[in-house]
Amino acid sequence: MRFVFSFFALSFLATPFSCAQAPGVLLFGEPRIEQLLPPCVHNPHEKEAEAELAQIQVAIAFYLGKYGEYPASLNYLGPPDDNTKPSAKAAGLLKIQSLTAEQEKYKFRYERTDDGFGVWATPKDFAQGCGSVYMDQTGGFRRHWEMSEASSGDAVAERQADLNGDVTLRLLVDTKGRPIEAVPLHGPEELYLIAVQKALAMKFEKTRARSPIRVNLDINFKIEGKDTQPASLSNP
């Protein structure tokens, strides 16, 4: 009996030790440390980035009006080589160097999509503040106030003032009445892209001319500013 008692006593003492070594039975895990991120502040260079995006938007409008499609990359908007004419791969519409310069506080990314394009302007150093901006073919700017890129899911920036005016374009219309070129001549530049899109989607009567003809077209815009609701340029 003494031998049996000793055997069960040893088994009882060994059991906790075995369980302690088994995976998934630990009563206490490693302490979890959560990193507290500083609150986002307004980036002092956001307006400069938006100005760059506005230039890109105008350049894309001219590119679309000339070549009938959105550029495959921002480089397609850049200047051609010396002694060469502008082309679809070097349209001469934008100084690309200004977007990649070391002194710039924002980095720019462009992507052509099935139905348009997207351009992202993101702070290079979020320690200086947040304020990422996104722009697409609808013409509106979307701002993001976290330490990441803006996107189409962010709200369109509110417009505080009305925007009314005419955009005049010079069209090249083929013999079947289809615009094959739409070059903005004057008007509010922020409406150029929307105006070109509308012009290229129009259909005119067939002409008796044997070659494409040039005509001028005025498109009137009336966009009301809103204090509380986002205003989009996509629905003038």
- Distance, in Å, from the CA atom of 52 to the CA atom of 104, rounded to the nearest integer, reads 11
Class of domain 46-144: alpha beta
φ/ψ (deg, to 5) at 135? -140, 145
pLDDT computed for residue 30 by the predictor = 56
- Cα–Cα distance list, 203 to 63, 125, 199, 208, 235 (Å): 20, 48, 9, 16, 20
pLDDT band at 39 (very low <50, low <70, confident <90, very high): low
Lowest mean pLDDT among 61-70, 182-191, 221-230: 221-230
Is residue 164 over pLDDT 60? Answer: yes
Spell out the residues 6+ positions from residue 108 whose beta carbon is closer than 8 angstroms to its own: 52, 53, 56, 74, 99, 100, 119, 120, 121
Q: Could you report the per-residue pLDDT of 166-219, keeping only the tens digit for each?
A: 999 999 999 999 999 999 999 999 999 999 999 999 998 887 888 999 999 999
Q: Please report how the helices 192-200 and 46-67 are oriented relative to each other, as an axis angle in degrees rounded to 10.
A: 20
Is 110 in contact with 119 (CB distance < 8 Å)? Answer: yes
DSSP string, 139-181: --EEEE-SSS---TTSPBPPP-S-EEEEEEEEEEE-TTS-EEE
Is 154 in contact with 141 (CB distance < 8 Å)? Answer: no
Locate the domains of the chain by residue range.
Answer: 46-144, 163-223
